[in-house]
Amino acid sequence: MEMSPERDLGPPSDLLARAAGELRQLTDDGWVRAEQGVLDRVARALRSARPVRGRHEGGDFFLSSTVLCAQVGTRVDLIPGVRASSVRIVTDDVDHLDAVTLTVSVAYGQAIADVGSRARGEAAAAATAALGVQVRTDQVTVDVLVEDVFVDEARDDGGADDAGED
Amino acid sequence: MGVPDPADAELVRRARNGEKVAFEEIVRRHGPAMYRFGLRMLRDEHAVRDCVQEAFASAWEALDQYRGDAAVKTWLFSILANKVRRYLRSQARSVPTEIDEGVIHSPAQHEPERRAIAGTMMAALEEALDELPLAQRACWILYEVEGLSYRRIAQIQGMSVDAVRGAIYRARQGLERRLEAWR
């Protein structure tokens, strides 16, 4: 009986299972030859980051924008039905935080305006905690871009993903 | 397969905060499988090294954008799959006739390995894989060799789950037909 592609595929034939098994074993030596080159390339890779000026009792300090982005993203991820996709930081000429652009996806059925408002507040709160200076949304631009809607997998795990190609 | 790997998550968290040692551990965890996938797709050790190197470098540079929606392995394979597609398209562009991506053939594999498997079922399998359309080849390798789920493959390949399932089905048919003599 011919298998139908519309339902789950069964196990492969013995022949193809053996072939796949051999493929898994074949290239380890190649990776051994390549590994150091990959590590060297990674060591040279630079992630763009800029200093962001913060303040504590002893005076000013500088926080990497990479760290600040991570803290903002982590905080926003705590909002139910919101996933932070990216966080962008803009600073002024003397490294003060000038703007935060937060890109998020929201769960299907969420009120986007409410979610966006809450995300702005949480982003500002996270920046305040990280920098030690009050980040108010009337002084620092906090833009929230809702770029996508997702199905909450905790409620519905049956959907198929159709991720777009780059 | 769909359960996030907590060790990966912790490594990503540390790497996102700038710890390159943590990212190097990610390279060691996932590099062998990525290299294997790249080699099966390209069959050219130098090209694979370049693609894997660039994939990991891109992953490091974009780590702050990774939010954990997909497993780390899925995310890394997505980046590598894009590098592989771009490489193959760049190779195809150098040929002065219009070429369908589905029939792009890979360059020759690294010679020592080529000689080692000459005359074996593996050599026949590699030739058979090379004759498959690119998407079928990638889906079959990711599913049968790397053990990824349809859903993860769909994320990596930018295809629907149904399309992935169909590609694997057709790849199996094609490989069975071409490897009949080795049954």
Q: What percent of chain A has pLDDT over 90?
A: 34
Query: Which of B31, B141, B159 is the closest to A35 by Cβ?
Result: B31
Residues of chain A neighbouring B155 (CB-CB closer than 8 A): 161, 163
Mean of the per-residue pLDDT values of chain B: 82
Task: Say if the Cβ atoms of A12 and B144 lie within 8 Å.
Answer: yes
User: Taking CB atoms and an 8 Å limit, are B17 and A8 in contact across chains?
Assistant: no
Q: Count CB-CB contacts under 10 A for residue A124.
A: 22
Task: Please answer whether residues B154 and A162 qualify as being in contact, where contact means their C-beta atoms are separated by less than 8 angstroms.
Answer: yes
Q: Which residue of A32, A41, A46 is the best one to mutate when testing the B interface, meaning the one whose CB has the most B CBs within 10 A?
A: A41
CATH number for the domain formed by residue range(s) B6-182 = 1.10.1740.10
What are the structural domains, with CATH classification, of chain A? Answer: 64-150 (3.30.70.1350)
HEC readout, chain A: CCCCCCCCCCCCCHHHHHHHHHHHHHCHHHHHHHHHHHHHHHHHCCCCCCEEEEEECCEEEEEEHHHHHHHHHHHHHCCCCEEEEEEEEEECCCCCEEEEEEEEEEECCCCHHHHHHHHHHHHHHHHHHHHCCCCCCCCCEEEEEEEEEECCCCCCCCCCCCCCCC
Indicate yes or no: CB of B165 within 8 angstroms of CB of A5: yes
pLDDT digits (tens, 9 = 90+) for B28-81: 999 999 999 998 899 888 999 999 999 999 999 888 778 677 889 999 999 999
Per-residue pLDDT at B153? 95
- Partner-chain contact A38 B176, CB within 8 Å: no
Choose between B65 and A144: higher pLDDT. A144
Interchain contact, A26 vs B113, CB within 8 Å:
yes
Could you tell me if B133 lies within 8 Å of chain A, comparing CB atoms? no
DSSP string, chain B: --S--HHHHHHHHHHHTT-HHHHHHHHHHHHHHHHHHHHHHH--HHHHHHHHHHHHHHHHHTGGG--SSS-HHHHHHHHHHHHHHHHHHHHHHTSSS---GGGPPPPPPPHHHHHHHTTSHHHHHHHHHHHS-HHHHHHHIIIIIT---HHHHHHHHT--HHHHHHHHHHHHHHHHHHTGGG-
Output A160 or A37, whichever has higher pLDDT.
Answer: A37
Complex confidence, ipTM: 0.76
Query: Would you list the domain boundaries of chain B?
Result: 6-182
Q: Do A19 and B168 touch (CB under 8 A)?
A: no
pLDDT at A2 over 50: no
The whole-number pLDDT of residue A158 equals 46
The chain A residue lying nearest B49, using CA atoms, is: A34
pLDDT tens sequence across A60-84: 999 988 788 878 888 888 899 888 7
